Amino acid sequence: LGLNLKKYKIFLIALPILTLALIGAYLAFAMFLIRVSSAHHYAYKNYLITNTTDQNRIIVESGSNSYHGINSLMLEKHFGKLTINLGDHGGYPLLHRLYRAAKFAHKGDIFILPLEYRYYIGDVPPDTYYYGIFFELHHFYDYLPFLEKLKTISQIPPQAFMNAVTRDYRDRAAFKINFNNFIHRWPQAVHDFSPNFKNGERGDYQYVGKVDEARDTQMPCQQYIFFTDFSGSKIGINDIFRRNLKFMKKLEQEKGIKFIFTYPAVAGDDCYDLNDPHAADNQKFLKDVKKLIEDNGFEMIGDYKDSYFPRKFLHDTWFHLVPEARDMRTQKLIENLEKSKYAKELHAK
């Protein structure tokens, strides 16, 4: 009995140690795999914010509504200040965007945030975001603090690891290049984007013609923009956004940058239909968002109607505009920015 008790005690001591060792090995492997997998993947939008730090900038940050709905050169021409469009995908978390801003933004930079409503409702990334962290989205992960990196790794779906192992490494030569970059600490994702920048590319969508509508449009617009978010949350302001506001306030105070909120670009005939059964809740939500933002000392300019267009201006989904509407929306944004409390700072000195 005494021998069995002794073995049991050893087991109780060894179990947590083994568990911690396995967790540590898992985290170390994930960090290694992200580093190696991402060695030859890069993003032009990340180039825009990391290679223009010598200038005061207007930076548009949100999901794809800005990618398709902002004409950066119109803003740049009007205000005389470099304007870059970081709009990409509404599933990429605002917190990770803010950590990138914390690293590369500086006093004089002004962020315009036409955030999709999911950022207020339930800012939980889809699985596709975690897939991308191993490849072209690794920059979001790279700029996170250590503990936030661990948290992000803990949320990566198992299938994302399998995808990372198999996606690039079917090609033995590609694996060798990636591994050598990791071992020798050579710079990751070396690519010369300067010709794109000199040609006036500021991160806007390059429109080449109409495409087929996405499956998103099979869902009523109002239901999609207010209720369909990647976390499955219902209408209401999530605590994640409240915490993000506190972090933004800290960034404003410590780095001297500014944030201006506005409404996302939307095209459809029933997106804000007041006869919809949920319209009253949705309108209250919009008022609650504006009040929360302003109560925290930020500014939310304009009205949702300024960025809302009939369905004929839809490119392929509810948040994507064709160029004609994009330019009308940008012009209205310029007019609203001129009424902003930061109007003077928006102009180049």
Q: Say if residue 339's pLDDT is above 80.
A: yes
Q: Choose the weakest-confidence range: 67-76, 191-200, 236-245.
A: 191-200
Task: Check residue 121 and report its DSSP letter.
Answer: H
Asked whether residue 232 carries a pLDDT value surpassing 70, the answer given is no
d(CA 13, CA 22): 15
Range with the lowest mean pLDDT among 31-35, 101-105, 117-121?
31-35
pLDDT of residue 122: 85
| 8 — pLDDT class (breaks 50, 70, 90) | low
Sequence letter at residue 292:
L
Residue 214 pLDDT grade (very low, low, confident, very high; cuts 50, 70, 90): very high
Grade residue 298 by pLDDT with cuts at 50, 70 and 90. very high
Q: Rounded mean pLDDT of 15-42?
A: 85
Report whether 135 contacts 161 (CB < 8 A): no
Q: Are 310 and 265 in contact, with CB atoms under 8 Å apart?
A: no
The average pLDDT across 219-237 equals 74
**Is residue 76 predicted with pLDDT exceeding 60?**
yes
Residue 230: per-residue pLDDT: 43
pLDDT at 29: 87
Of 97, 49, 119, which Cα lies nearest the Cα of 264?
119
Task: Name the more confident of 12 and 121.
Answer: 121
pLDDT value of position 229? 45
Secondary element (H or E) of residue 10 = helix 2-37
Backbone angles phi, psi at 296, to 5 degrees: -95, 10
pTM metric for this prediction: 0.90
Residue type at position 206: Q
